[in-house]
Structure 1
Amino acid sequence: MAKSPKKPAKHTGVKQGALTAPRTVPALRVVQGDSRFYVFNMKASELWPMVSINRRSETEDRGYQRVLSQARVEAVANHIKSGRPVPNSVLISLDKAEYDEQSGRLTIPKGTDIGWVIDGQHRIAGSHEASAEVDIELCVFAFEGVDQEFQIEQFITINREAKGVPTSLVYDLLSHLPNRKKPADVANERAAEIANELRRDEKSALYNRIVVTQSPSKGKVSITNFVRKIAPLVHPDRGALKVYTLPEQKGIIGNYFSALKKIYPDQWAKADNIFFRTIGFGAMLNMFDEIFTLTLSEHGGFKIEDIEATLKGVKHFEFSAWDSYGSGNKAEMEAASDFRTDFNRSRTNISKAKIRL
């Protein structure tokens, strides 16, 4: 009886690839202007261990790849295990390779960090994740001997120039597929995308505040907690933000936290900022629907100044009472109820103050 292949490990942190022996594959050489690359196929279980991924550091100015989303990896893996193909190619860079024109074979030398992923890390990782059950072949395009600047240029070109299909069209087309992705999976992936964009945006109040690869320290929130609270808002069937595009959703969430930063500067300046503790983060997002709807209704938009105007009556709210609430959904709901009570009272007082007899 054949031994079952070992289940691939989860993919986190820096990815360093290696070959313990040279690998020769049939390949086609392609020349475009001054660029030369090779096209070949390779099993996912063989490609993943070979390649390295130069991921962007959260704290240092190095790397260029986005943080790997486990949700996207598992989505690719499930897609493959259900018997569907992955026709898209992946793009890598080989530091060294020798090509034999007569035999049409490419030899990749042994070593560490001999190949770098430029585009397709989620397809490679997801295919590797599925390889214990279904080990598919991936179509690989490989540049040879290009520096990091060239790799970054290719990465930016691929990811910036690609024109995304409107979300509304995607949701409409998904309804025609009998085994479509579950709405909750779509919501989780979208929330993770928003988290990754906001935490990298230097103009965002959430810049460097969302932690992906480690446990959050004071003043930061984990991407898991972020997705837990944001996914319901972007749920394609019932989310308050379901009709908006990714850039609009990012802007709405970003503006909300930027407004909190301006309204509560003393609280924001604390190392143990309440808005990034589980209870505070959860409570303020439990209030989001009401604040969002009211702000749109009264100000016609959701700019930072619009949100400030909506919340001006509770700018002196005392958050210290939340310290004794503990954690969990119940505590978040109680904290949100406290804020809602003061918020509604302030609005009543403002309405009374406007009455002139």
Structure 2
Amino acid sequence: MEVINMPPIEFKCLEAQQPIGTVYIGVMDHEDLYFISYADVRRLELGQDNREVEDYIGIQRQLNTKREKDIGKYVNLVDATFPNSIILSVSSKDAEYDEEKQMMTIKYKDDVAKVLDGQHRIAGLKHYKKDDEKFQVIVSIYIDMDIEDQAIVFATINKEQKNVSNSHVQDLFAFAKDRSPQKTVHNIARALSQKEESPFFRKIKILGTANRKETETITQDTFAKNLLKYISSDPQSDRDFYKRNKDNPSNKLDLVEGKELQKLFLRNIFINDVKDIEIAQIIYNYFYVVDEKWPNAWRVIQANMILNKSTGFIALMRFFKNAYLSFDRIGDVITKEEFKTIFDKITLEESDFNKEKYVPGSTGIGDLYKDLLGQSGLD
């Protein structure tokens, strides 16, 4: 549908020559970009002469609504940014470039710019709520690009992209100046992995350290996300809160209570800024007892044993919630002696923590958690 009497969009553009041809690099307001762009979603049409190549129309993937929602939330954070360009293909019938003025003019229509890369970012920008602030987006525009080149650009971008490991993302929070749940769990992981008497000494794969140890069987990401879930249900929003209020330290997140406190039982300790060390102490005490009860299964690296690997650690962190809450003293540091009263009831032997009994993955995690729960009497 063409919008009547709407002037075309004009914006500054630089012209770049590349082997594939000319590309125009400019900056657009997000509202204009959202309106004129469309994604040519790849779909299969059957029953048309059975011509396989021609039957595949379009090159984009289906829009992931969860990803759109996540990006929609992200764009409203205080430090939201899209440093990479959205890639568009536009017909010369709908666009004109003034080389002397370095200005691009595009018709204000809702279907003139095909998205080759960035459809989820554009969809997320639909949820941008700050009417008083601009969100401008870098765009790379190809004019009259044929369908083959469009497909090649799309395929190349998505083939060459490499995901950053989650552990690396966690490690980057060390550089954050402002408080956040992510930084707290990162600091706890580092502290516990470096303390010689800690049950996690040289057991967590901390990025940025040389001389990897064979004893490091738990990734930083696995440790962080299994602790983070007891501190925050929305770490990004919490981080955004602290960043916005860094000049007003008296502003605090709201304490949780009731059912929410049962789920986020470490959150109120976290909200009290000076008590991160208490969260670390609770984890230390809990796993000190694990180490004491099953020293060989926890310390010794054996190919067939799972307690000191992801399967065992995640199951123990699930059981940690039941163990901590059983004392009905949310906010307190539960001592090693108190945690020991729970583990003394568990009859599992060190030899039980093998891959045959507890298959690596979600099944083994669930089975071990149920056994810990049942034998402790906390179910």
State whether TM-score is above 0.5. no
TM-score bin (small chain): 0.3 to 0.5
Greater Cα radius of gyration, structure 1 or 2: 2
| TM-score, normalised by the number of residues in structure 2 | 0.42
